[in-house]
Amino acid sequence: MDVEDYMLLFLALWILLSAILVGSVDVFLTLTLIGILITLEVGSLFLDREQKEGMKPLVELLILLFTIIVLKKVYEVLSGGAS
C-alpha cells in the first residue's frame, strides 16, 4: 500500500467512526473537519499540489459549516443569557 492509501484509510476510518459514534450532526461535521486538517498537515509531504488543491473546496465548505455552527452556538448562549 502507498502512503496515500494509508492516509485515505485513516481518513475513511476517522469519518466513519465519527459518523457512527457521534449523535449530533454539528459535532460530526466538526470532527470531520479536524480529521481532514490533521491528515493534510501530517501528510503534506506526501501530497502533491494538485491533491492539496483538490481538497481545498471540501475544507472551505467544512470551515463555512463550522463557522455557522459556532455562530449558532453563540446565538444560543446569548439568547439563553438574555431570557
Partner 1 sequence: MEAKYISSALLALSGGILAAWGFIHGEAAYINLGLAALFLAAIVPVFKSPSYVKRDSLNIMVKSQRNLATSLLDGLALEGKSVYLPPYENLPEGGVFIPLREDFDLDPARFDEGSIFVTDVPDERKMGLLLPTLGKELVEKYEEHLEGPLTSIPEVESAAGSVLKSLNLARRVYIEDGEGEVMAIVTPDFECSPVNCERFPCPVCASILRGIAKASGEVIVVESISRGKAGVEIKARKMGRVEEWM
Whichever of 25 and 77 has its CB closer to partner 1, that residue is 25
Minimum CB separation of residue 76 from partner 1 in Å reads 17
Grid cell, residue 80, equals: 439563553
Nearest CA-CA partner of 65 in 28, 38, 14? 28
DSSP3 helix / strand / coil % (the chain, rounded to 5)? 90, 0, 10
Whichever of 57 and 80 has its CB closer to partner 1, that residue is 57
Grid cell, residue 75, equals: 446565538
Footprint of partner 1 on 30-59 (CB under 8 A)? 32, 36, 44-49, 51, 54-55, 57-58
Per-residue CA distances from 79 to 42, 65, 67, 70, 73 (Å): 39, 21, 18, 14, 10
Confirm or reject binding of residue 22 to partner 1 (CB under 8 A): yes
Which residues make up the interface to partner 1 (CB under 8 A)? 2, 4-5, 7-8, 11-12, 15-16, 18-20, 22-25, 28-29, 32, 36, 44-49, 51, 54-55, 57-58
